[in-house]
Structure 1
Amino acid sequence: MKLSNPGSVPVYTIAGPSTARPLPDWLARRRNRSEKHSPENVNNFELLQNFEFEEASNCIRVSEDGNWIMSSGTYKPQFHVHSTQELSLSFSRHTKSENTTFLLLSPDYSKSLHLQNDRSLEFHTPAGCHYETRLPRFGRDLAYLRQSTEVLVPAVGLSSDGSGFGEVFRLDLERGQYLRPWQVDVGTDDEASGLQGGINVGSVNVATVAEYTHGLCAFGTSIGTVEFFDPRTKGRVATLGGQDGEITALDFSVDGLSIALGTSNGQIQKYDMRNPRPIFKKDQGMGLPIKNLIHLKTPTGERKLLSADKRIIKLWDEESGDLWTSIEPMVDINHVAHCPDSGMILTANEGKQMHCFFIPSLGLAPKWCHFLDNMVHEMENETQTETYDNYKFLTLPELKALSLTHLVGKTNLLRPYMHGYFVAAKLYDQARLIANPYIWEEERAKRVKEKVDKERASRIRGVKKVKVNQKLADKLLLKQKEREEVDTNAGILGDSRFGKLFEDEDFKVDETSREFRNLNPSTLIPGQNGYIDPTTRYVASSDEGSDDEDDNNDKEAGDEVVMQISSSRAQGSHVKDTAFGSRVPQTRPVSKARQGVVNGEKQVTFVPKSKKKEAEAPAPEKKRLDGRRSASTNTFRKQ
């Protein structure tokens, strides 16, 4: 993916050939191996699998549902069908002759009509070629009337009845027969020149239909006229003439109120259907025949007109007629197609690969490649420091710092541009090394420092000193340390909305207040040893005293804390809560078998025996107890 046209309306090349002519297979493979790891090709990707032909492509169209792309090419004559849902080639099919143009008769690819250069019409289905028929003369274009299921084929030469008019053949697909052709004036009365294959033979070059509006049919001729026919009356209703050159492209606007035409000398004109004078007239600039005209609409409602010749594609503003943007591929263009409701433009060209261009200002990416929007957004955020990969742009002060000013105007090594010069990248590196021999060591030290700073990012760089609430600030920094996002200027500490929390004395947290001690019972209070337990109570003068009396009693007691055990109390009975010290004498004494009576805690000390001495000591003799009964009557055995 490459930004091919930087400017106010950027254009991105998604796919397409990088050379003007196709390379041999052996040379292309060698170049791909050598450029595999080059910076230009690291981020390249294949949008559609096998989106190419062996030699060139002739025509390309997108189905109405947007799920299929059909294209025809050579050599050998064939056409491909790509599935946009799978981003791959669905199937390819060879034909007997080369394809001139084709139409998709159904919302998908299942019904297609192909005009071949051997005067034949082929109807194709997913199973193959369904039917083939021959035309009396060579056809130039195809148009389809959905209301009456008629195919219109503008042809070359004069009619056979000697009337001196050209013909537009009509094929009724419902009945399967040819209807009476429409006669179009092609401006010749010479029978010799009107023969098939004559030098100056007239022809009907192009046809278009206002399908979704009034339904008029327009035909462009070789004498520079446009004739309009009404399918309901089967006759001519108007003629537009006075054009320089042949009419090679026609297209109705979406509302059907205007029509755009292109001529063989590169002129583009837009007409209102109610006015014979053109709204604007533009020159493509190349002097080549216009191949395609397409009316487009941006997401903001602006209307654009796309015109394409052999060399360049231009988009014009319909209201002002100003040039909006342009696309100039490296190969010759044969046909252009636009993906509906998107900014994607596809081209069939003389190169091996077909082109895909994406214009974000024209619309979003199609649904089948919506990821292009994110890629374009990332590329727009990148900083472009250099205009070319192999050249570095330097201003005059930078040249003086590198001692290269003596080359200005004396060599081609410095190419002037704007307020500076372009210098070859190798020359720039060498001059920078000569001017500062220690530049590599400085660069290395700089990178080492950046790496060390990056490793220290998870550590606390310093203590945030604030006027009030220092403990709260330290607590916040501790939480940032646990998340490995330490920054004294981030979060609450760096937010100006909470600045008074650490500066104004009115926002200071009083840790000695009762509210703070109730909310934070385990917080260490100055003047006391240990933490406050949640079960702590303050002894009051009476159970029914108010909060103020409790506070006075606490102060009179000298803030003395007495630990008590809460027990159940029957209604109206005496309180059974007593202190620990008064309960100790009432407990049952410990058994005399133990060493003394223990109240509370007891300390036990012992000295471990050495395993070495225990191993060296003799085993103790087993001594029989005197009280044990002996089964023997031998008196000596008892001693």
Structure 2
Amino acid sequence: HCRNEIYRFNLEQGQYLEPLSSKSTGFNACEFNPEHELFACGSVEGHLECYDPRVRSLVGNIDCAVYANSNSGNSVSLPAVSCIKFKDALNIAVGTSTGQILMFDIRSNKPYFIKDHNYNLPIKRIDFHTLNDDYVLSIDKKICKIWNRHTGKNLTSIEPATPLNDMLNIPGSGLICLTNDSPKIFVYYIPTLGNAPKWCTFLDNITEELEEKPADTVYDDYKFLTLKELDTLGLSHLIGSDLLRAYMHGYFMDIRLYNQAKSVAEPFAFAEYRKQKLRAKIDLKREKSRVPLPIVPTVNKELAEKLLHDEGDFIVNKKKKQKAADTKESLTILKDSRFRSLFTNPDMQIDANHVSFKNIAPLVSRLSKQTAVEDESISNENDEDQDEEEQEDDDGNDLIDDMLTSDEDN
């Protein structure tokens, strides 16, 4: 094209045809649609002009600069159309000199999506991926972006150190070639876009080798040892070998090797460990058999002790399979919520100096004497129980020693 004319040259006839006239002062890009032969041109004023070669006249004109300015917020310079690319019979992408890509349906004069590179650099090339047709590849001088044409979401970006000039996507593959200001062409392979071309299938093999695999970080069958523990076991000479895996401030070792080294370094450790386990089980059994000491309230403490004393008698009698109805009644007083204030409210404190209390003093004294006699008998029984527990302790210790001795002999 030259100024406001678009020249046509017929290769079969070898001569120029009558040029197409336009009102625009110049054009930067043009593109034929192979499906219906529509000829699109992008002008320096930001217009997209479409011509029908059969009638050699303008059939459509879209002002792309308006939408590019509204999206970028730049109202000083007028963006020009820098490149054009048809996807199919209806969809066309228009790149501007200010870094926007406008997606059009030729049946509408408004873009259905606008993508901004945000570098304010002219878009040099736009391409639609032939395998994943939802992806668009676009480049400017600084970066190559691969994005979704419906949402604008980036799949990835390629930003080399040298300025870019052009782009080639090998059809039906994930191989991309970028020409630049350096002597070598940059070649990138993106497996997400497609497989490698048939003439370089080795790229797929390299990709499989480079694929990240989740590392097995679970050490269920390993024992963690510090450097000091390795010295204690005499295994510090294994550092650097395959038997130890360095991790943080120590090493992981196979649990079987650790058990063998432990048995050699401490031959009696297992017997001592088993003895501790047996003793812990016996202590736990004794702890469960013991009766917890009751908590005596501060209000009417003497009465509460008397009732708790009766409760102890009830437990002893229950062991001997004897029942006492009066003792059961005393237990209900301590646990019954109706009598709770008797042991919590200071106003309910029994006054031994009161006249009413002195009137029943003979009865109280007789009960106290009876309680003293019972205390003496219970004390004797407790002494007998304590002797039995001590005997059980001695028997338990003898049992542990006998078991360990028999194991050692075997």
TM-score normalised per structure 2: 0.50
Greater helix percent: which structure?
Answer: 2
Q: Which structure is richer in relative contact order (CA contacts within 8 A, separation 6 or more)?
A: 1
